[in-house]
Chain A
Amino acid sequence: MAPLKSLEQDYPILDSNFQSFCASHDIFSVEDLLLHDLYVLAAFAEQESSSERLKQGITQVLSIIDGKHQPWLNGMELLEDAQRNKHVLSSGCEGIDLLLHGGLRVGQLTELVGPSSSGKTQVCLLAASNVAKKHIGSVVYLDTGNSFSPQRVTHFICQHSDPAIDQAKHRTLQKVMNNISCKSVFDIFTMFDVLHQLEFNLRSQMQGGDCKMQLLIVDSVSSMVTPILGGSGSQGHALMISAGYLLKKLAHEHNIAVLVTNHTVGGDGGISKPALGESWKSIPHVRLLLSREHGGSICNVSILKHPSMAVGKAARFMIHN
């Protein structure tokens, strides 16, 4: 939304003459140029006195536009990037790892759907503790319902370690806990702020260091989106879609695995279905349905959607108390 004037400093060919020519065609910013037909504009420029300079300006603007989209990649480059960067993070949960052939994939948005107390938050905490401990990467946990429990995370971390010297264990525990940062967000606008800040930090971060962010958890995305959905306007719907796209962008461009949770609502025939509707359906890469037997500690997880696996594959796992 920056006006053309601000580009004059970097590109002196876009001088005031060019700007007034554009203004005469109702073009004040680069976005206006995107909506305008540039060949028609060039034809108009022909009739002006300084047509050569104006056409050079248009060519310059086209090269600026070329930088406004993601780069073109061919199949081999895509494959190399996927093999190098998009590895799999173990979720700490054997059933889920088995089902997903390894765990949560970096660059993909995984959604956990389930009715309340089906184990979604437990799986999120387990994944956070596992990634922080084993993959030596940092985790960002966006908590919408005050469900983040440091005690539980400590329990998961200390579960599989040897009963070694208390001092060393305490130090490791501190280091691992430092890798998990938890933020409370209660509405979608705060979440957008947090995600944009995160994106800015990731883009300006220097490469290297062992605290590269690996996992982003949003528990739960439905409790933030549901209050704004519905009603006569479609703004809530648009906000939900753009939140989904922002999460996918963070996942792919910065090589992070994103895990979100969603609850279920009643569908037709009494069968429950995931909340957030049809348009959200096509946003996550992987959708898993969790269910727990009442009072038991065994959870069932099945695939609702996966880019390369059949729907309906299921597995079971146990959450230790």
Chain B
Amino acid sequence: MEAKGWITGDESAKEMLGRVLSRARPFLLLPPLHRVPLRPRNVLEIVGPSPSAKTHLLIQAALTCVLPIDWNGVHYGGFDGFVIFIDLDCRFDIFRFSHLLKLRLASGSISEIDREQNNNTKERSSIAYDEELYTLCMRRFLYVRCYDSFEFLATLKTLHYRIQKEKAYGTCVHMLLIDRKSHSIQAVLETVVQEIRKLLLLHPMLAIATKATLFGNRAMNEAKWNLRKPDTSNSQSGGITALQLPYREYMPSVWQTFVTHRILLRPSDDHLAVSDDQNHSVYFSEWLMPSLSFLDKFIVKETGVFFVA
């Protein structure tokens, strides 16, 4: 009797294809992450020195995740799910998140509002947005702070049950964001990787982690001096590309093999004067894994990330 159970399958091939294909759509994220399609179960690591807009990228990704595809006739193009944000850096500013969400909602429904009026009103209080949708999106953002590695492990171990609770309400999780920066999890790294792997198996979602790199060893400084001296007439900003700069990485191989994609963000020495009083610094982004051989330049404005040619 038991042997028969082995032969009769769980589902037919058609059902399986239907299940897998409905979930495995590639994620089209905002710039500068759009060059490589990211799918659920990918692990993206955003590295860069401080400051380089890493947390800003995480917030933009979270916003894309919580927004619905369509609402009241307006197309927002989100993933209509909820997002888990684990803050190991403990510096998350909810006011900034709320402000960016309101701007996204306002710009999403631009066809209904007088464009002229929208351009003139720059104060936070007069941005027109849909209250109900705002509350819905804020409720889909799940946040927890971890002050040390054991709290982080405790969170990961009980995350499965937390996700099950949300699933009972009908929405599913699409992203796991870990804002790590310089928080050291060396001691418990293997267990962390194991737990995240299990979670990704049970709940297919995209995992994004940030990490701060430490620049500034003497060899790098010498390289900087040598590059600057002969080429002062070089109009290229900075004159140093990441391909030439070595940066220190302390992560052991268990983490390096776990991460499937990696992007490096750096501030350049340039500043872009957009208007009279706004001076934005330009950042470089470079895909390390898969390795693309060009750099993107972008600036960070309130409404999002914009590329600079």
Contact = CB atoms under 8 A, between A and B. Distances in A.
B182 A75 contact: no
B194 A37 contact: yes
Interface in B77-105: 89-91, 93-99
Given A73-B143, A279-B182, A66 B154 contact: yes
Nearest to A109: B91
Q: Which residue of B135, B143, B188 has the most chain A CB atoms within 10 A of its CB atom?
A: B143
Interface stretch (B12-20, B35-43, B67-75, B213-221): B213-221
B109 interface: no
B93 A307 contact: yes
A268 B96 CA distance: 33
Contacts of B181: 282
B162 interface: yes
B157 interface: yes
Contact of B144 (A35, A71, A246, A248): A71
A78 B94 contact: yes
5 contacts: A72-B144, A241-B184, A282-B181, A283-B182, A308-B99
Which 9 pairs, one residue from A and one from B, show the smallest C-beta to C-beta distance? Answer: A75-B138, A75-B141, A68-B154, A69-B154, A307-B93, A78-B94, A34-B153, A66-B158, A69-B151
B146 interface: yes
A34 B146 CA distance: 14
B139 interface: yes
Given A34-B154, A82-B94, A282-B50, A70 B138 contact: no
Interface in B31-61: 49-51
A278 interface: yes
Contact of A282 (B142, B161, B212): B212
Contacts of A62: 157-158, 161
Interface in A50-89: 62, 65-66, 68-76, 78-79, 82
A268 B222 CA distance: 10
A316 interface: no
A66 B142 CA distance: 16
A35 B182 contact: no
Nearest to A71: B144
Contacts of B49: 278
Contact of A308 (B93, B146, B278): B93
A195 to B, nearest CB: 13
B157 A34 contact: yes
Interface of A: 31, 34-35, 37-39, 62, 65-66, 68-76, 78-79, 82, 238, 241-242, 245-246, 248-249, 252, 268, 278-279, 281-283, 285, 305, 307-308, 310-312
A31 B154 CA distance: 9
A82 B161 CA distance: 27
A75 B91 CA distance: 15
Given A62-B161, A241-B183, 7 more contacts: A34-B153, A66-B158, A69-B146, A70-B151, A76-B135, A76-B139, A305-B50
Given A62-B158, A278-B216, A305-B51, A238 B184 contact: yes
A310 B151 CA distance: 33
B89 A68 contact: no
A278 B214 contact: yes
B90 A249 contact: yes
Interface string B204-236: 000000001011100001001000000000000
Interface string B149-175: 011111101100110000000000000
B279 interface: yes
A74 B191 contact: no
Contacts of A307: 91, 93, 96
Interface string B103-139: 0000000000000000000000000000000010111
